[in-house]
Amino acid sequence: MAAPSRGARRPKPAADSPGRRLNTNRSKTDPIANPLACRPPACRVGFGNDVHRLEPGRALVLAGVAIPFDKGPAGHSDGDALSHALCDAMLGAAALGDIGRHFSNRNPRWKNAPSLIFLKHAQALLRKAGYEVVNLDATVSLERPKLAPYIPLMRQKLAEALGLDPDRISIKAKTGEGVDAVGLGAAIRADAVALLYQGTTSVVPKTRMK
Ligand code: MG
């Protein structure tokens, strides 16, 4: 293909082309409408996971919601694996270490502590570093009991703790299909990712909870 001659005009992008959309005022500042605007360090992603053994006599708490069951996670705090995984995802996205660095399991202050306070503290650290949460997504793996009826309340609790729209918080539940520690009913596992945005998230459009 011949090189364009000197002084030749570049063709304008079509009205519906990505190049055209990038030129709108909204898309320049909106990381949702325009993912190409999420150049580092504006957006950062973090991953977290957590596993706890299940023991009789322990309360089963997830995202601050007590779920009736005959077993619960062993742990120094309340063993809220979902909150712990989310906390690690948020801290990891900002390269601020992990939950153990900020809340040692040797510190008697955190004995049986409600884990939502860890999440609030992680968010305060993020804000100090100039970040806001765009959205969180987590999966809890547990053989029994079924978690689906509790997920709306769990999202609500997290939204209240973090001051976010519930729409920015996703929680899914899976079983272990009868294999591994989760499937045998011996453990609970949670995996989570967090997307952070450097600066205000006021550009992120609000949507209703689904
Ligand atoms: Mg944990």
Q: Is the pLDDT of residue 138 over 90?
A: yes
The DSSP secondary-structure symbol of 156 reads H
Say what the pLDDT of residue 153 is: 98
Q: Which residues surround ligand 1, an ion (CB under 5 A)?
A: 50, 84
What whole-number distance in Å separates Cα of residue 154 and Cα of residue 177? 23
Q: How far is the CA of 53 from the centre of ligand 1 (A)?
A: 10
Residue 158 has a pLDDT of 98
What gap in Å lies between CA 102 and CA 41, rounded to an integer?
A: 24
* Number of other CB atoms surrounding residue 13 within 10 Å: 13
- CATH code of 39-198, in short, is 3.30.1330.50
CA separation for the pair 45, 89 (Å, rounded): 8
- Residue 102, pLDDT > 50, answer yes
Distance 191 CA to ligand 1 centre (A): 11
Q: CB atoms < 10 A from the CB of 8, how many?
A: 8
Look at residue 99 and tell me whether its pLDDT is greater than 50. Answer: yes
Q: Give Cβ neighbours of residue 72 (< 8 Å, ≥ 6 apart).
A: 54, 55, 57, 58, 59, 60, 61, 79
Q: What are the Cα distances from residue 71, in Å, to 55, 65, 146, 171?
A: 5, 15, 13, 21
pLDDT at 210: 41
Lowest mean pLDDT among 85-94, 95-104, 186-195: 95-104
The rounded Å distance from CA 79 to ligand 1 centre is: 6
CA of 86 relative to ligand 1 center, distance in Å: 10
Cis before 41 (ω within 30): yes
CA of 75 to the centre of ligand 1 (A): 7
The residue type of 105 is N
Is pLDDT of 40 > 80? Answer: no
Q: What are 9-32's pLDDT values in tens digits?
A: 666 555 444 444 444 555 566 666
The Cβ of residue 35 has, within 10 Å, a number of other Cβ atoms equal to 11
